[in-house]
Structure 1
Amino acid sequence: MPKKIHVVLSGGSGSRLWPLSKKSRTKQYIPLFDGKSLFEITIANNENICDEVLVIGNIDNYELTLSVLKENVSTNFQVVAEAKPKNTAAAIAFAALSVNEEDLLLVTPSDHIIENKEAYKEAVNKAFEWARKGHMVTFGINPSKPETGYGYIQSNGEDVVAFHEKPDLDKAKDFLDKGNYLWNSGIFCFQAKTYLEELNKFRSDILEACKNVMKLKSGDFLDEEATSKIPSESIDYAVMEQSQKIKIVKGTFDWSDLGSFEALYEFFALRGAYVQDSNLIIAETAHVELHGLENMMVIQSGDAILVMPIAESQSVKKIYERLLQTNKKLIE
């Protein structure tokens, strides 16, 4: 009987949440949520829905991943440690090649918050129904505001009309007004064989390169030299935007992609944590006081302190990239 496998994608660098997020502890492993991390919360959200867990993760976080799984997972689990990130098309191919072809894969990021568990479970079960019929399922979220930081999916009932890149503010307002544009959650569901067939149809080069890497797999670890030959492409570009087998499930559950400090501020401001007046303050070892400042963030971890307007939080990635060239020890 086919199994329901929860595939957790945990390979991102988390560069927009530096200095909290570093190579040795990326954002999904930071215990900001009543002592729990986003990775732990993601595992918990799906433990009663799926039969097993399969993590596709960064080699730098391998030990962290294992420790969380051993402590929190009562079912079988696997880990595939990527030698270097090659985006989601390859990561999901590794997952599909690690299970039986009839197995159903529920693919989720590891850095999202999902609330209203019953609505989430209902959406996932609907997705499993479509997946059993050979469809590729994506999850769309009803937008609550004209968000420019997410991609959008134009829908017609359960059919996808088009995928849209992150819009500017005017276009995001137009999407919101039209009512049939949903946030692209980055959550997917399909049979392993369906994904591999569609990837082979549209990007056989990625699939063949992934198969070569899996042949050289040693324990949980993938070969670095072979991995370097895999084209880096997202599942959206490689498969979802081209396939004729796509269905969309509209998620009525509460969903937040906490990929920036601005998103963290909005999340915690409603819950009374880490926010003082209009400022976001997260300090691991220092006591911080602000006076006469508004809409600022102060983030401290180890030897690094980041101070900037919350509205500029998307620029943290630029700081991370500069430090990658000039002061690597601050991001390790």
Structure 2
Amino acid sequence: MIHPVIMAGGTGSRLWPLSRQLNPKQFLKLTDDHLSMLQLTVARLDGMESADPLLICNEEHRFLAAEQMRQAGYNDARIILEPCGRNTAPAIALAALQLAKATGDDCDDPLMLVLAADHLIQNVTAFQQGIQKAVPLAHQGKLVTFGIVPSHAETGYGYIQRGQELEQDSYGVDRFVEKPDLATAQDYLASGDYLWNSGMFMFGARQYLAELQKHRPEILAICQAAVDDADEDLHFTRINESIFAECPEDSIDYAVMEKTSNAAVVALDAGWSDIGSWSALWEVSEKDTNGNSFGGDVIAHDTESTLVRAESRLVATVGVKDLIIIETKDALLVAHKDKVQDVKKVVERIKGDGRHEHMNHREVYRPWGVYDSIDNGKRYQVKRITVKPGAKLSVQMHHHRAEHWVVVSGTAKVTNGEKTYLVTENQSTYIPVGQVHSLENPGVIDLELIEVQSGSYLGEDDIVRLEDVYGRK
């Protein structure tokens, strides 16, 4: 039995403005109209003899991850919440410790299949065949990584030099190498001895922990202490923040794979990409006869080799070539395909200027639904709020703002101080500054309302939660 472990952390800042800190690329529908990158990762496990996936994600993404897993058919998905990022070696250790504990010492070492939630794999059959080739090696105590058969001289990936052949398409590992310059990458490609480092792995949970104990015992000790003091909250495992924050940051490559004598690599040719930039997305997207890939409302004239994603309005292009144009409700990116790696510098500038466009979209998802910030001014803000059937916002109050609610559709159950009452379509209610209040959808259809906030301060941190069914502070 294979135990899939899906790493869904990270912010994907090179795919701004679609990818934001609170809604990063693994939760976006980048390569499919219906499924996010995370959901595609889960879907490609269909047909394999495997346990339900174990997800590792950031604390701030927990509700988004849980909802997407629910949509994928896992209503009680097991999710480990990292209180802070410490790279892949500690993250995988958390999963290995939990799997080892769950299976018990009397059972065989559970096989972990470690996958990233934001990779594209176009040939699922070849992917699953590669996974099966790794199983006997992992049972022999090997720490197996999956090396991608290179299609061109790529400078954006690390490489693995394969060693002696062990089985068909399976080899020992001579060495791991960093991202090369173009001339070196061309030499690697010509030699036929090098594979791209995919960041996917298979090994026994206890085998990995033993190797971590050997090479980075301080990481294992802190992860063990953090897991021992973790809290179980529904299907979330909340890792102790004060302990885990002391853990050194290190990747599994540096911490274990480059040091172990038990590394093996399976060559995988399955249409893999890590979608690490807008140019990478253009390369794997379907294109028209002019080499263009369009999504949304786009009109193009005399346009070649260009990627356009229009989210909320018409985007028209005239006489352009080799551009990336990404439009969202609150930001527009125009970049040359050769310069997309510098998108991260734009995000850094946004952060440095104290702006918020790196953090979230205009539409913000919450466990109860979503809100869209339609308009704002010096002393007012307007939101369109959608509350799912049966969902309830926290019992809260605000020190600096009052709120007017106008119901557009559905029925709202409102608690306003000591009073509780229903507000239906075309009706409104008023929440004064400092009033304890809550909002609930008691119906069977979505509740939609317009919220007009007014006051001296309208930040989201002016929320004092008194009760919350979702465990938020």
TM-score (norm: length of structure 1): 0.95
SS of 2:186 mapped into structure 1: helix
Structure 1 range deviating more: 216-225 or 155-164? 216-225
Relative distance call for 1:210 and 1:314 in structure 2 (3 A) is: same
SS of 1:128 mapped into structure 2: helix
**Structure 2 equivalent of residue 165 of structure 1:** 178
1:270 is displaced (CA, Å) by 4.6
Question: CA deviation digits over 1:168-225, x for unaligned, max 9?
Answer: 1111000000001000111100000000000110001111111121122122222222
**Structure 2 equivalent of residue 274 of structure 1:** 294
**Structure 2 equivalent of residue 38 of structure 1:** 37
Structure 1 range deviating more: 101-110 or 218-227? 218-227
In 2, distance between residues paired with 1:23 and 1:223?
A: 22
Q: Which has the higher contact order (CA 8 A, sep 6+)?
A: 1
1:227-242 correspondence runs (5 A): 227-242=244-259
Pair 1:105-2:103 in alignment? no
Q: Give aligned-pair identity as a percent.
A: 38
Structure 1 range deviating more: 179-188 or 63-72? 63-72
1:36 is displaced (CA, Å) by 1.5
- Which has a greater percent of helix? 1
Question: CA deviation digits over 1:64-87, x for unaligned, max 9?
Answer: 110111221359731001111110
- Gapped regions of structure 2 (runs ≥ 5): 104-108, 166-170, 296-302, 360-473
Pair 1:135-2:132 in alignment? no
Larger radius of gyration, structure 1 or 2? Answer: 2
**Structure 2 equivalent of residue 193 of structure 1:** 206
Question: CA deviation digits over 1:285-321, x for unaligned, max 9?
Answer: 1211111221111112231111111111111112212
In 2, distance between residues paired with 1:151 and 1:75?
A: 36
Amino acid at match of 1:326: D
1:258 is displaced (CA, Å) by 0.6
SS of 2:134 mapped into structure 1: helix
1:1-332 correspondence runs (5 A): 3-32=1-30, 33-49=32-48, 50-74=50-74, 77-100=77-100, 102-156=109-163, 157=165, 158-219=171-232, 220-270=237-287, 273-274=293-294, 277-332=304-359
Say how many residue pairs are matched: 330
Contact kept, 8 Å, 2:282 with 2:293, in 1: the verdict is no
SS of 1:239 mapped into structure 2: helix
Amino acid at match of 1:41: L
Contact kept, 8 Å, 2:7 with 2:115, in 1: the verdict is yes
- Which has a greater percent of strand? 2
Contact kept, 8 Å, 1:53 with 1:75, in 2: the verdict is no
Contact kept, 8 Å, 2:153 with 2:186, in 1: the verdict is yes
- What RMSD in Å do the two structures reach over aligned CA positions? 1.7
Question: CA deviation digits over 1:14-69, x for unaligned, max 9?
Answer: 11111101122100111231222111100001133222200011112111110111
In 2, distance between residues paired with 1:161 and 1:302?
A: 49
- Gapped regions of structure 1 (runs ≥ 5): none
1:284 is displaced (CA, Å) by 1.3
Contact kept, 8 Å, 2:146 with 2:198, in 1: the verdict is yes
SS of 2:144 mapped into structure 1: strand
Structure 1 range deviating more: 151-160 or 189-198? 151-160
TM-score (norm: length of structure 2): 0.67
Relative distance call for 1:208 and 1:39 in structure 2 (3 A) is: same
Contact kept, 8 Å, 1:53 with 1:76, in 2: the verdict is no
